[in-house]
Structure 1
Amino acid sequence: MPGKQVNNTDDAFHDSEDAGRYSRQVVLSGFGLAAQQKLKEARVLIVGAGGLGVPVLQYLTGMGIGTIGIIDADVVSLSNLHRQVLYNENDIGKSKVETAVNKLSKLNRNVRFEAYNQLLSVQNALEIVINYDIVVDATDNISTRYLINDACVISHKPFVYGAVQQFEGHVSVFNYLNGPTYRCLYSTPPANGEIPDCNTAGVLGVTPAIVGSQQALQVVKLITGIGKTLSGYLQIFDFLQDEQYKMKLKIRAESRQITALRNSYAEVVCNTVLKLSVDELFDWYESGKQFQLIDVRELKDFQTGHLTGAVSIPYNQFNTGEIHINNKQPVVMFCQKGARSNSTAQMLQQRYPEAEIYSVLGGMEYWEDEFDDEYIITPDLQNGGGSTV
């Protein structure tokens, strides 16, 4: 399904103009004219022209990607403008795709744009994806993310993943050179509403720009072969604490054995991870209930203070294949705010479907607000801050 071709350039390399336009990156050691030519010949599809899509589009256009496909059915709204800085107040109510193409064409007239003013769907995904070398997931819709993943697995296309929630960002490269897919990270979608989007959870204007810029960088690496990509790793940004780290991903063989799209990606798949409030956890301590507590905060945070009986398995070292749990006791995942405990609880639940696994809502922040330092041990000098369940 070809997109609406908005502008067309001849295939001749614009030597004099390109020499000036791309001089700052062509001069880079290990990049050069050969890499620039690869960018010119590349075809990249960006799914979503919002918070993540805008920086991806701006930088890939500026850097000289030959053909860029943009698919989005949304229109510009006032609430978009604090983070989607390609648009302005005069664009409110207009198609994002058409507005983006109009503005981006003025940034680089030598880039060919293919516009899809529609949603990516089961009906059109394979027909669209097959026409591109790389797909960029710039959506905030989990159902669409699984559709992108499956279409890319079937079409043998790599896709660059990005996500932002509140003050945290994720970036990875999936389905590249037999590396992990998105379903290797999350084999099934969470329940509807389990993970809020930016409309309900909020997003700081600058954070999608950081994640989207990193996505653009991954695209350039995939096309040109420079440097090392994030294939096999999930890069996690904690923007509030100015920290970042990588979590190694494991390949699930079954996640690569997708031969057809599902009939629908809108279905709700149950997330079996249970939620535990800090008040309920406190009652467990008070009553002497037996449970396993896994703290997935960073080691330095664990050593500063942790709950009684907790073992440390930092999020960036979390590997379900190396974790053994006792199915006779509930397992409680614990972190600073609750997001990482929920993520690791999902992964652990998939490995131990019969286990009773909880994620503590609000984590250490809620605990300290409610109970100060009760049941908190500090510092940890006994097990060196880390152990395996």
Structure 2
Amino acid sequence: MRNERYSRHYILPGFGELGQQKLQAARVLVVGAGGLGCPVLQYLAAAGVGTLGIIDHDHVGLSNLHRQVLYDTNDIGRAKAEVAANKLRQQNPEIEIRYWVEQLYSNNVADLIRPYDLIMDCTDNFAARYLLCDACRLLDKPLIFAAIYQYEGQVAVFNVADKEGIKTDYRHLFPTAPTPLEAPDCNVAGVLGVLPGMIGILQATEAIKLLTGIGVALINKLMTVNMLDNSSFIFEIPLTASAGTVYPQTLAELSTFNYEQYCASESQLIQAIDAKEFVEMWSAEDVVLVDVRDPNELPRLSHPHLSIPLSTLSAQIKKIDSTRVIFICHTGKRSLIAARYFYEQADAGQQIFHLDGGMIALENYTND
């Protein structure tokens, strides 16, 4: 018996009742319920995908709301995965929705993705992307990838064989992880609010095409879209070998692989310090403070320091000449990126620190 909810699908040429039945039988896991995950979840739920899984350990914040339109002001502070699941059940009570308020790790990824037919990569960091890439390759799961940066987005379909039997994955696109300065996330670089909506819809469309067999999916192809000039193009992902790159070859190796270290191997050599440690250190003769905020950001740092905005760090890095260097920003995110970049250029023996929590943490400490 036909369901009136999907009546416009039934009359679509090439889709029809069979296409809707395929969606109803499908199990799709969405990893990340943020800017990309919100539109993906909303449209797949509305389309009638039978089982949707949601994984996200984050909570709704005010700065999310300009682009993560599944949430509203009343949701601030609540777990994204739980809020999304509740709202999607209201949107379509006829489908099954499962959720996990937890982070994806090497030791849980296989169990979480194994029951699903299709995985949606809606994450925002390289460690998670490489983790999903390897897990899907080892478990032979199709993976639909998307990413956003300021005004531009990307979509690709991985681990699905084309007519020649060729499969590509994220490692063919990026054999090694880009540096933090080469590809900062939206917390640092910013993002146009409507961009993840558009890219997420493209990602959901690729899922529907794969699940139903309609159209031509972006198998072994990367599509990029630029919102500023309305340009888009598609190119073939090269079947390049990851020469010299070490990554898991078995599920056992996957379960113990350290992706955080793989994507930022310097992390153990960059020390995060709290506000108390910062105050104790900042007067030492061999310490240089580097403020990587933009010059107009408040509050000002009263102690002598170098002002080098993150966007100009590569051009001014030679100005930093000290045995110990402390990077600081507003929240601690940009300072960590700056510290990682500086680590790659630093001389032997230099100690690198960043203030965890940034100026916010420092103000809270000094006001107590």
Q: If the length of structure 1 is used for normalisation, what is the TM-score? A: 0.63
Contact 2:146 2:153 in 1 (8 A): yes
The answer for the alignment partner of 1:132 in structure 2 is: 116
C-alpha displacement at 1:191, in angstroms?
A: 2.8
Q: 2:260 aligns with which of 260, 263, 266?
A: 266
1:41-75 deviation per Cα after TM superposition (whole angstroms, max 9, x unaligned): 00000000000000000000000000000000011
After superposition, give the CA deviation of every residue in 1:89-148 in whole Å (9 maximum; x if it has no partner).
000001101100111001100110111110011010011111100000001111100000
- Residue pairs, 1:59-138, within 5 angstroms: 59-138=43-122
The aligned residue for residue 161 of structure 1 is: 145
| Residue aligning to 2:324 | none
The aligned counterpart of 1:205 is: 193
Query: SS in structure 2 opposite 1:23?
Result: helix
- Kept in 2, the 8 Å contact 1:181–1:251? The answer is no
Unaligned runs of 5+ in 2: 266-311, 316-368
1:58 matched to 2:8: no
Take 2:73 and 2:60, find their aligned partners in 1: how far apart are those partners?
A: 9
In structure 1, how many angstroms separate the alpha carbons of the residues matched to 2:249 and 2:6? 40
For residue 21 of structure 2, what is the aligned residue in structure 1? 37
SS of aligned partner of 1:223: helix
Q: In the TM superposition, what are the counterparts of 1:338-349 in structure 2 within 5 Å? A: none
Q: Secondary structure at the match of 2:202?
A: helix
Q: TM-score, normalised by structure 2?
A: 0.67
Residues in 2 aligned to 1:228 and 1:92: alpha-carbon distance in whole angstroms? 39
Which residue of 2 is the match for residue 221 of structure 1? 209
- Is the contact made by 1:166 and 1:204 (CA closer than 8 Å) also made in structure 2? yes
Residue 259 of structure 2 aligns to a residue whose secondary structure is coil
Flag the 1:81–1:63 CA change in 2: closer, same or farther, 3 A: same
Question: RMSD over aligned Cα, in angstroms?
Answer: 2.1
Partners of 1:160 and 1:215 within 8 A in 2: yes
Q: Secondary structure at the match of 2:168?
A: coil
SS in 1 for 2:94: coil
- Per the TM alignment, residue 251 of structure 1 is displaced from its structure 2 partner at its CA by 1.9
Shift of 1:252: 3.5
Letter in 2 for 1:265: Y
* One-letter amino acid matched to 2:55: I
1:247 deviates by: 1.3
The answer as to whether partners of 2:134 and 2:248 remain within 8 angstroms in 1 is no
Q: Which amino acid aligns with 1:259?
A: T
